[in-house]
Amino acid sequence: AAAEKGGYATFMEKEIFDQPHAVGDTLLGRTKDDGELVLDELRISEEQLKNVDRITVVACGTAAYAGMVAKYAIEHWTRIPVEVSLAHEFRYSDPIVNERSLVVSISQSGETMDTLMAVKHARELGALTLSICNTHGSTIPRESDAVLYTHAGPEIAVASTKAFLAQITACYLLGLYLAQLRGGTYADDAKAVMQELHEVPGKIEALLGTMDRVKEIARFMADTRSVLFLGRNVGFPIAMEGALKLKELAYIHAEGFAAGELKHGPIALIDAGQPVFIVVPGPDTPHELHKKVVSNIQEIRARGARTIVIAQEGDEDVVPFADEVIRVPRTSPLLQPLLTVVPLQVFALHLSTAKGLDVDQPRNLAKSVTVE
* Binding residues among 352-371 for ligand AGP as defined by CB under 6 A: 368-369
Out of 31, 62, 101, 169, name the contact with ligand AGP by CB under 6 A. Answer: 62
One of 44, 63, 178, 254 touching ligand AGP (CB under 6 A): 63
How many residues sit close enough to ligand AGP to count as binding (CB under 6 A)? 15
Element (H, E) at 132: strand 128-133
> Residue 372: CB partners within 8 Å, gap ≥ 6?
88, 113, 114, 117
Q: Identify which of residues 49 and 86 has a Cβ nearer to ligand AGP in the complex.
A: 86
CB of 247 to ligand AGP, least distance (A): 9
Which residue, 156 or 181, is less far from ligand AGP as judged by CB? 156
Q: Show the CA angle centred on residue 152, arms to residues 113 and 86, nearest 5°.
A: 30
Smallest separation (angstroms) from ligand AGP to the CB of 265: 25
Selected range binding ligand AGP among 6-14, 61-69, 187-195, 229-237, rule: CB under 6 A: 61-69
CA distance 284 to 333: 7
Q: Does 159 bind ligand AGP (CB under 6 A)?
A: yes
What DSSP character marks residue 282? P
- Encoded one letter per residue, x for contact with ligand AGP by CB under 6 A and - for no contact, window 184-223 reads ----------------------------------------
Q: Does the footprint of ligand AGP cover residue 160 (CB under 6 A)?
A: yes
Cβ atoms < 10 Å from Cβ of 312 = 22
Dihedral sign (CA 74, 78, 79, 82) = negative
Mask for 99-118, x = binds ligand AGP (CB under 6 A): --------xxx--x--x---
Q: Are 22 and 163 a contacting pair, CB within 8 Å?
A: yes
Residue 129 as a binder of ligand AGP (CB under 6 A): the answer is no
Q: Which residue, 150 or 336, is less far from ligand AGP as judged by CB?
A: 150
List the one residue from 60, 102, 103, 173 that touches ligand AGP (CB under 6 A).
60
* Alpha-carbon distance values, 155 to 35, 46, 204 (Å): 30, 32, 18
277 close to 242: Cβ distance less than 8 angstroms: yes
Residue 36 per-residue DSSP state? -
Residue 367 bears catalytic tag: yes
Q: How far is the CB of 243 from ligand AGP (least distance, A)?
A: 11
Which one from 191, 247, 292, 367 is the annotated catalytic residue?
367
* Three-state DSSP state, 185: helix
Region of residue 91 (left: phi > 0; alpha: psi -120 to 50; beta: else): alpha
Contact in structure between 115 and 57 (CB atoms under 8 Å): no
Q: Which is nearer to ligand AGP, 112 or 352 (CB)?
A: 112
Give the DSSP letter of residue 57: E
What span, in angstroms and rounded, lies between the C-alpha atoms of 113 and 352? 28
In the range 139-158, which residues lie near ligand AGP by CB under 6 A? 158
Q: Considering the rule CB under 6 A, would residue 336 count as an interface residue with ligand AGP? A: no
Residues forming beta bridges with residue 286, ordered by sequence position: none
Q: Which is nearer to ligand AGP, 51 or 368 (CB)?
A: 368
What residue ranges bind ligand AGP (CB under 6 A)? 60-63, 107-109, 112, 115, 158-160, 248, 368-369
So which residues are the catalytic ones? 367
